[in-house]
Structure formats: structure tokens, C-alpha cells
Structure 1
Amino acid sequence: MSESQRVVLVIPARYGSSRLPGKPLADLLGKPMVQWVYEKAQQVPSASQVVVATDDGRIVEAVRRFGGNVILTSSDHPSGTDRLVEVMEQVDADVYINLQGDEPLVRPDDVERLAQGMLADSATDVGTLYHAIEPEEAQNPNAVKVVLGHQGNALYFSRSPIPYPRELEHHPGYFKHVGVYAYRKGVLKAYSSLPASSLEQTEQLEQLRLLSAGMRIRGFEVEPTGPGVDTPECLQKVRAILAGEPYVLVSPLARIKLLITDVDGVLTDGGIYYDATGECMKRFHVRDGLGIRLLEESGIRVAVLSGRDSATLRKRVADLGITLCAFGVKDKETACYRLMEEAGFTAEQTACIGDDSIDLPAFSACGLSYAVADAPIYVKQQASGGVLTLAGGQGALRELADAILVAHGKADVFNSAVGFNAVAGGVTQ
């Protein structure tokens, strides 16, 4: 490889993580996770150099202990690409590949395919990876989808399932974007000066800044990749895979003892109706009511949290036998903590379900949060547990209730006559 074709692999490794603090140093079979990624990067034939870029001295020390190259960068970088720009100022190359520090199962062959693709076509500004996924996974806003043109250049990236399946027989399938990027030096020099586009701000995807600026992002297809590490559950799964052991997925819902639900847009369809006397009326779904009672009868508490207060709402809550409730709430985060304290459970044992921005403070308070299917995209992005397939007022809470019962090994209360009869005495819709 000529000197003019120098490829450097950079591994951004940030210590802070809301769901798994200290993630790069998480132990995987006696080695920190960042070491696994580093050693995989060293197996990429085209790599002239591998370097870890971090904002924390603890990671610097860990990398030096296993003999790796590391650069301490600013802690103010909003993204991994910005951190890469700082590395560029200290390490010279023609192509920089940003390899995620939480991907210990990354395949060196995939990274080499990306490197060779960039070296073969100097007209490509940025390269990345993608693979096919099933339609069910495409519904997850945390799985970023990409559509490509005939030459393999990205047309758009989105958290929404794209392209829209109007004619299923002509649908090309869904492709998931793998967050490994290769940049030419000139692109990185220009990146910091590029304005953040409205698309980037809407989707919260930094690659849309590049597309909006007219740059070409070439996609290279690979086989489906192993899981990255975002949560403690992911860490357990990756640890089992690396050890060659079978992994039994334990749903995070198995630890849930309290479910906090919003009302408007979750238990109702979001509509507000007034009768001739001016009384506010709401449309509830009976299956949600049954789901609430099945949870309560199975030992999982349910609490109702609403920014509104009305006789109609209080009557529905009373009919369902719910005693944990807060009405007319302005501060939902504080209200969630109070409900947890009253019920005697921690945030890690609590899940919540919401549909709009007013529920985001509750999302931040609870260990798991879920958005209904018709919630705005920016609310779905904040749902740590995921997005339900049903809309508010259309059985969304029942969907989550069933999932909780399954995780607790109590599916028989809704899928068998014997199980249902065991709790039927306390059930209402």
C-alpha cells in the first residue's frame, strides 16, 4: 500500500453512558471491551494505524496497559465524528475509519471491505456499512434504516421504516445502517464547518448533515452483524457469545414491578369530547382495562399519572380498582418518584408508557419507558424500552401488559382458561 493511501482506524471511546456508565471498560472475559475492539481493528489488513480516542483518563490508562495507542481528546465533542476531527489534527491519513468502541463483535473482514471500497473509488466522500433486516426490526426507531441508489450511494437515512411499503410485491426490503464510517481527510476538515441541517436535527442522525451538504455516502453490504453493547442485557449477551456459551435472553421486563401509565393518548385515543352540559368525555379501550387488572391480580402494580383531572377520569380509575394515581400533575418526573415511593419500588423496577413530549420527564425517571405506535418520532427516540405496535387507545397498554406477564412467566393468565379463571374474581374491563 502506498504512502498516499494511508488508512487509520479510530475508536472513539466515551466513558459517560446513560444506560451503561464506563462502557468501554466493561469486563469481557478478563479484558476491557475497548481492548476487544482494538484487537479486532489490528486484524484489518489495510489499517496503517489503530488509535483509541477518549475523553477520560481511566480509558487512557486501560489502553496503555494493553499496549494500545490512545489520544486524550476534549470532553465537549457532541459526536464521535467531532472527536475524529480532533484526532485528524494529530494523526495523518488519507482515509479515517470510525470504528465504534461498543462493538466487540465487529468483523475485521467487514472493515476491510469498507477500506478497500474507499481506496478503489476516490470519488466516494464517505463510506459506511449496511445489511438486510426483517420488517419487524425496521419498525424500531433505534435501528437506523438506509435506502440506496443504483450505484450504492445512500439516498436517505431514517429512524422510520423506509421505503414505505405501499406495494409489498415491489418492496426491495429494509436495510439497517451499521454505524461504521470511513471519511476522506477533506471531508473531516469540512465537517465542523458544515451547518447542522433541519433533517439532522429532526432525525438526530449526524450523517444527514453530510447528505444535506451534497456529499456522497457509499454503502457496502455485509452479513448481519452481532449485537453492540448498549445495556447491561446486551453486555451479558455479548459476553456469552464471546465465551461460546448459549445465551438465554432475560427480558428487562422481568424486573418490572410497577407500570406507570399516562391517560390521554395512551389509555384513550387522545380525543376530548364534550357532551351538551360541557362535561368532558373520553373513549377508553376495554382491553387496556383488562390488561391493568391482569397485572394487578398477578402482583404487578399499575399507577395512573395524568396532567388532567376530571370526574370522568376518576370514575374510570375507580372502576378499574387502581389506587396508585396522580391527577392534574405538572411535574411528571417528581410524580413518578412519589408513586414509586408509595408503591415501594425503585426506578429500575418501574416502567412507564407515554405518547407525547409531556411524558418525557416520566421517561427519564423510570428504568424502562415505552411509546405508543402513534407517538411523534422524537418521543419514540427517547423510549428506552422501545415502541409498541399498537396506538394509544387501541390496546397499546394491553400489548405492554401481556409482554410484562410473559416476562414474569405468567402468560397463562391471558392465554389459558385455567390461568384466567385463577384471577378472574378480581378482573374487570
Structure 2
Amino acid sequence: MAICEQRVAIVIPARYGSTRLPGKPLADIAGKPMVQHVYERAEEVSNAHIVVVATDDERVATAVRAFGGKCVMTSPDHPSGTDRLAEVMGEIDADIYINLQGDEPLVRPSDIEKLASGMLTNKGVNIGTLCHSIGSDEAENPNTVKVVLASNGNALYFSRSLIPYARDGESASYLKHVGVYAYRREVLADYSKLSQPMMEHAEKLEQLRLLSAGYCIRAYEVEPTGPGVDTPECLEQVRAIIAGLPLPAKPTLGEIKLVITDVDGVLTDGGIYYDASGECIKRFHVRDGMGMRLLEESGVRVAVLSGRDSATLRKRVADLGITLCQFGVKDKKKACQQLMAEAGVTAAQTACIGDDSIDLPAFAVCGVSFAVADAPSYVKAAATETLIKLGGTGAFREVADAILFAQNKEAVLGTAEGYANVMAKMAQ
């Protein structure tokens, strides 16, 4: 690797305990653990001096040593990847530390070289990162972090929201933030002393702590990057790319024949009301009920799947004429598979809607998954799509409308004639 005045270290954080994909660093891709793919690409970065994996799990460390890589054991208690990087700084001496995530096996060495070069040639840049342009459809996804830049390339703000917002329908361009960071040593030394601002808590983006503290973050634009590995679906996609195989076809709303919905937090706002005899009242949204019937009468089955059971819930489901249902469910993966079998559909023909961690097993086995707008960020990240509506405010109807439009059945929504064809069996 090249020798220059300033020493550059690439640090690859690799936690074993991923919520969505346990053991992720060791996932096999073309006969190698994923962390090895990232490591080998990092070693191709010509202006870096050392590559090291930072892990809190001996299984990952053993795998790294097996392919001849360098590894540093770190505490399992770090609240962020940057805090983990600061611990590595105590063992690995460098002037610039690049944090390269261990779930990016398609990372381009040239992109990391561009980031390192920007830091090496301009000592006034204390923190660097990457970004690339995206279309408006991807920009509307809150799982995609956007960044807006000043004319000198410094980040003005990072957000899960659509930024900039085209208020009057004007055209706008969008940049996706790529979560690779370069820090000068003194920034990492100060990081743990910084307080977490409101905007970091709200957005769940740790880089906002640095902006709030007055640091400048220089963003270098690169070509669109390959997918990282966040979910089992992402892993299969990356495996296909590395193997040179056609990408697995993604299910579309046009194929959906079954929609499985959670109740509390989706069909209701999550409020549960009790009287002396026990739970008795839930607040449902009338448009969700209409959406269910519109789907059923248009050939798309609806199933209700709840971790709770009550007379109120059963009465609502019966009023809507929904016959596919399971109540008091603890294993939603198994329940979804049973509902698919009962409906005679495949996973690719099934969509599910959820709002919390109990719904993650359902997300994993359904071809398309939706998280309501007020779901936790980690639930949204596991879903295929995030809805605009909050739970209990018409979230199911949002999904129903999208499916009907995708299947060219929008007439039942927007015309008297179309609605008349199904209205005899409608209920709200």
C-alpha cells in the first residue's frame, strides 16, 4: 500500500448480533464469509496503510484470523459505531480513521480512495463521508438517508425525510448518504464527550451529533453504490450479484393475492381500553374496513393476524366478513405460512403490514412488507416499504389503494360505476 505523510487506517466494525440478520458478518457469499469480502476490497485501497476488523464476538475474530486478516476485540457495550472506532484508536495508530461497515461486500475500493484522498489533500477537512444521486421514488423512503450540501461540499443536514422538499411541485434533485466515514484522530478523541442532540434522537442518525456540535462534514459524491446487506432479501441479492447471476425478481403489488394485517398499532392506534370486565374497546378506522372489503371483492384475500384476542376484535373481523384470521398468536412466521397455505398463495403473492418487533418474523416470510409511519426505525428498516399513514389512521387503506392501482382496479375507488359493481357486499 502507498506510503504518505499521514497514516490512514480502515476499520471494519463487524457485530455478530444483528437484529435482522444474526451472524451477518459470517454469512456465506460465494464461499467466503461476508466480512472477508469487505476486508479484501478494503485492502485494494491504495492510499490506506492498514485494514482491521473491529468486533465484539470471538466467532467473527476467529473467522478473520482464518483468512489472514487483522482483528481487534472491542467492547459489546458501545452505543454507536463511532464509539467503537474510538476504542480501536487506542490500539491502531493513524492520523485518519475510515469507518467501513462490515455489511458492504460490494464496496468499490475507488470510492474509499476518493474519500481518503479528500482528507489527505485538505487538512482542513476533519470528517468526510460519501453520497450519490437518487431518484425521487427512493428519496421518499425514510430508510434512505438523504443529505443536502453547501456549495463547498459540506453537509448542511442529513435526514430520513425528503430533503429538499419541493413545496410548489418544482423539480428537485436528491443525494443519498452512503454510511462510510473518515475521521481525523482528534475528532474521535472528542466524540464520546459530545451530548446527543434532539435531532439525533428524532432521526436516529449519529452524524447529527457532530453537526450539532459545530463540526463540518465534507461529502464526496460517487456513482450509485451496490446494495448493502441489511436483511435476508438483501443477502440473496448480493449473492446473485457476486456470483454473476440474474437478480432475484422482487415481488410487486400487481402480484399480491393476500394481505395479512396486524391489529394493534395498524388497524388501531395502539390504544387498549379496559373496564371492570376486561378489555372491551378498540378504536378502528372506518376507511380500513372499506379497504378490506374493496380488496376482497376485487379478488385479493385479507387475513387478520393478532398477538391478542378479544371479543371486540372478533366482532370487528366478523362484521367485515373476514374469514382468514388467527388470534392470540405468538409465532407470526408460522401463522403467516399457515394463512398462505389456507389462501392457496405463495410468499411472493403475500403482503403483510406491521408496526413492532413481533411483526418482524412475518416480514421475513412475506414477499412484500409494510411498516406504519409511527413504527420504530428498526422495524421500518426491516420492511419493504414504509407507509405515510400512522397506525389507526388509515394505514391499511393506504396499502389497499396501492394494490388496487397496481392491479388496474382503480375504478372501484374513483368511479361510481366501478364501486357499484362491488357495493352490494361492502361493509365499513
TM-score of the superposition, structure 2-length normalised? 0.78
Q: Secondary structure at the match of 2:194?
A: coil
Q: Is the 8 A contact 1:292 1:302 kept in 2?
A: no
Where does residue 49 of structure 1 map in the other structure? 50
**Distance across 2 between alignment mates of 1:130 and 1:343:** 38
Where does residue 195 of structure 1 map in the other structure? 195
**Distance across 2 between alignment mates of 1:367 and 1:215:** 38
Q: Secondary structure at the match of 1:71?
A: strand
**One-letter code aligned to 1:397:** F
Cα distance change of structure 1 residues 94 and 255 upon mapping to structure 2, 3 Å threshold: farther
Cα distance change of structure 1 residues 427 and 62 upon mapping to structure 2, 3 Å threshold: farther
Return 280-289 or 45-54, whichever deviates more.
Answer: 280-289
Shift of 1:396: 3.9
Cα distance change of structure 1 residues 82 and 36 upon mapping to structure 2, 3 Å threshold: same
Where does residue 367 of structure 1 map in the other structure? 363
**One-letter code aligned to 1:229:** V
Q: Is the 8 A contact 2:146 2:175 kept in 1?
A: yes
Q: Is the 8 A contact 2:285 2:393 kept in 1?
A: no
Q: Secondary structure at the match of 1:249?
A: coil
Please give the per-residue CA displacement for 1:136-172, whole angstroms capped at 9, x wherever unaligned: 1112111111111111111111111111111343x54
Q: Is the 8 A contact 1:340 1:346 kept in 2?
A: no
**One-letter code aligned to 1:69:** K
Cα distance change of structure 1 residues 123 and 325 upon mapping to structure 2, 3 Å threshold: same
**Distance across 2 between alignment mates of 1:339 and 1:246:** 31
Where does residue 277 of structure 2 map in the other structure? none
Q: Secondary structure at the match of 2:330?
A: helix
Cα distance change of structure 1 residues 298 and 88 upon mapping to structure 2, 3 Å threshold: same
Q: Is the 8 A contact 1:336 1:365 kept in 2?
A: no
Shift of 1:114: 0.3
Shift of 1:339: 7.8
RMSD value, Cα: 3.9
Q: Is the 8 A contact 2:240 2:248 kept in 1?
A: no
Cα distance change of structure 1 residues 106 and 314 upon mapping to structure 2, 3 Å threshold: same
Please give the per-residue CA displacement for 1:244-283, whole angstroms capped at 9, x wherever unaligned: 1111224499999771333787479x9xxxxxxxx99975
Where does residue 319 of structure 1 map in the other structure? 319
Cα distance change of structure 1 residues 336 and 67 upon mapping to structure 2, 3 Å threshold: same
**One-letter code aligned to 1:73:** T
Q: 1:302 aligns with which of 300, 304, 321?
A: 304
**Distance across 2 between alignment mates of 1:187 and 1:344:** 50
Cα distance change of structure 1 residues 338 and 121 upon mapping to structure 2, 3 Å threshold: closer
**Distance across 2 between alignment mates of 1:15 and 1:252:** 32
Where does residue 238 of structure 2 map in the other structure? 238
Shift of 1:346: 8.9
Where does residue 275 of structure 1 map in the other structure? none
**Distance across 2 between alignment mates of 1:305 and 1:22:** 28
Where does residue 160 of structure 1 map in the other structure? 161
The residue correspondences of 1:346-425 to structure 2 (distance < 5 A) are 353=353, 359-360=355-356, 362-363=358-359, 366-367=362-363, 370-372=370-372, 375-376=373-374, 379=376, 382-383=379-380, 384-385=382-383, 386-389=385-388, 396-401=395-400, 414=409
Q: Secondary structure at the match of 1:288?
A: helix
Cα distance change of structure 1 residues 75 and 400 upon mapping to structure 2, 3 Å threshold: same
Cα distance change of structure 1 residues 218 and 63 upon mapping to structure 2, 3 Å threshold: same
Cα distance change of structure 1 residues 281 and 156 upon mapping to structure 2, 3 Å threshold: closer
Q: Secondary structure at the match of 1:112?
A: helix
**Distance across 1 between alignment mates of 2:223 and 2:232:** 25
Where does residue 330 of structure 2 map in the other structure? 337
**Distance across 2 between alignment mates of 1:195 and 1:319:** 52
Please give the per-residue CA displacement for 1:4-43, whole angstroms capped at 9, x wherever unaligned: 4111111111111111111111111111111111111111
Shift of 1:402: 7.4
Where does residue 273 of structure 1 map in the other structure? none
Q: Unmatched 5+ residue regions in structure 1?
A: 271-278, 327-334
**One-letter code aligned to 2:13:** P
Shift of 1:370: 2.7
Cα distance change of structure 1 residues 83 and 379 upon mapping to structure 2, 3 Å threshold: closer
Cα distance change of structure 1 residues 167 and 68 upon mapping to structure 2, 3 Å threshold: same
The share of aligned pairs that are identical, in percent, is: 51
Cα distance change of structure 1 residues 400 and 31 upon mapping to structure 2, 3 Å threshold: same
Cα distance change of structure 1 residues 338 and 127 upon mapping to structure 2, 3 Å threshold: closer
Where does residue 144 of structure 2 map in the other structure? 143
Q: Secondary structure at the match of 1:74?
A: coil
Please give the per-residue CA displacement for 1:324-355, whole angstroms capped at 9, x wherever unaligned: 376xxxxxxxx44288877874999797535x
